[in-house]
Structure 1
Amino acid sequence: MTKLGTLTDATECAASISYDTALAILAALATPLDAISLSLTDAGGCYLAKPVHARLDSPRFDCAAMDGYAVRASDLENGSSTLTQVGTSYAGSSDAGEIGPGQTMRVMTGAPLPHGADRVVMIEYCRQIGSEVTIAAPPRGKPHIRRRGSDFARGQQLLPPCTKITPATVLVAAAGDHGQLSVTRRPRIQLLATGDEIFVPGSAAAAAFPIPDSLTAAIDLMCRSAGAEVVSKARLSDDPKAIASAKQAAEADIIVVVGGASRGDRDFGRGAFAPLGLKIAFADVDMKPGKPVWYGTAGAAHILGLPGNPAAALTIARLFLVPLITRLMGGDLTDALPWQLIPATAPIEANGAREAFLCAATSFHGVTVGDRQDASGQARLAHSNALVRRRARAAPVLPGMLVPTLPLCC
Structure 2
Amino acid sequence: MSLYEKVVNKEEKIAVVGLGYVGMPLAVAFAKKANVIGFDLNTKKIEEYKKGIDPTNEVGDEAIRQTTVEFTSNPTKLQEAKFHVVAVPTPVNADKTPDLSPIEGVSRTIGRNLTKGSIIVYESTVYPGVTEDFCIPILEQESGLKCGIDFKVGYSPERINPGDQVHRLENIVKVISGIDNEALEEIAKVYELVVEVGVHRASSIKVAEAAKVVENSQRDINIAFMNELAMVFDRMGIDTQEVIEAMNTKWNALKFFPGLVGGHCIGVDPYYFIYEAEKLGYHSQIILSGRKINDGMGEFVADAIIKNLVRTNKVVKKAKVVILGLTFKENCPDIRNSKVEDIIKRLKEYEIEPIVVDPYVNPMEAKHEYSVDLVPMDMINDADCLVFAVAHDMFKGMSMEQIDGMFGEFPNNEKVIVDVKSILDKNNIEKHGYMYWRL
The TM-score bracket by the shorter chain reads under 0.3
Relative contact order, higher structure (CA 8 A, sep 6+): 1
Larger Rg: 1
Structure with bigger helix share is 2
Structure with bigger strand share is 1
